[in-house]
Amino acid sequence: MNWTSWILSGFVATIVLSAALATSQGLGLTRMNLPYLIGAVITHNRDKARLYGFMAHMINGWAFSIIYVLIFEATRNTSWWFGLILGLVHALFVLSVGMMLLPTLHPRMASERHGPTSRRQLEPPGFMALNYGYQTPISVFLSHAAFGSILASLYHLH
């Protein structure tokens, strides 16, 4: 594995992913504010949650890129379309399994079955995060596709 290339390509891809998600919120494609969603795991202070969430998302994206890189190394394939497909699979996993588990994993997220409590007050994402806007899956697929293809394009095999 090419560690230097991973650090650089993972960083760039994560920055692009974060920017794409923020832009799609700004453009009204989705209401989902991922840094806030992640940061609220750590703190109930909404302003700090955005900051902590952004940092956590950066680290998370970087860490996740290792899996991509390992697959690139294993398949010896770093074509952009291969990265794009990996990104789409990643997005599908996040939207289906990740969002389904989120109300259970997130300490401040309410569920439709139990309703909000004094501690759990955040709106759950629902199937494919559609509660956060019906175009949310499009935004997630596009941003993760960009993540995968950029990572593949920038990463140099060992």
Partner 1 sequence: MSFKDNGRLARAPGADKFPAIGDYGVIGDCRSTALISKHGSIDWLCWPRFDSASIFAALLDRDRGGSWSISLADTYSVQRSYQPNTNILGTRFETRRGTTVLTDLMPVRENDALVPDHEIIRQVACTSGEAEIRIVLEPRANYGEAALKLEQRGKLGLRFCQGRGVYWLRSSLPLQIDGNSATSRHKMKAGEELFFSLSYTENAPAVLPDLDQVPHRISVCANWWKKWVAQMRYEGEFRDEVVRSALTLKLLTFVLSGAVVAAPTTSLPERIGDSLNWDYRYCWLRDASLTIRNMLELGHLDEATQFLDWMLHATRLTQPELRVLYTVFGNPVPRERESRVLRGYKNSAPVRIGNAARGQLQLDVYGEVIDAASQYAFHGGLLDREMQKTLVGLGNYVVKHWNQADEGIWEPRTGRRHHTHSRLMCWTALDRLVCLAEQGKVKGPDLDDYKRNREAIQQQILTRGWNDRIQSYVSVLDGDDLDASLLLLSWYGFEKADSPRMQSTHRAIRERLATGRELLYRYPSDPPEGAFAICSFWEAEFLALGGGNSEDCRHLIKGLFNYRNDLGLYGEEIDVKTGDALGNFPQAFTHIGLIGAALSLEQRMKGEQQLAHRAPGTPVLTEALSGGSRKL
> Which residues contribute to the site for partner 1 (CB under 8 A)?
25, 28, 30-33, 36-37, 40, 44-48, 108-110, 112-118, 121-125, 131-133, 136
User: Cβ–Cβ contacts within 10 Å for residue 25, how many?
Assistant: 19
Q: How far is the CB of 23 from partner 1 (least distance, A)?
A: 13
Residue listed under structure tokens 């991973």: 6
Q: Quote the least distance from Cβ 10 to partner 1, whole Å.
A: 26
Q: Which is nearer to partner 1, 98 or 133 (CB)?
A: 133
Rounded Cα distance, 13 and 150, in Å: 6
Contact (CB, 8 A) for 106 and 98: no
Question: Is the Cβ of residue 9 or residue 33 nearer to partner 1 in the bound state?
Answer: 33
CB of 15 to partner 1, least distance (A): 21
- Closest approach of partner 1 to the CB of residue 37, in Å: 6
**8 or 42: whose CB is closer to partner 1?**
42
Q: Are 124 and 110 in contact (CB under 8 A)?
A: yes
Q: Name the burial class of residue 122, with classes exposed (0-12), middle (13-18) and buried (19+) by CB atoms within 10 angstroms of its CB.
A: middle
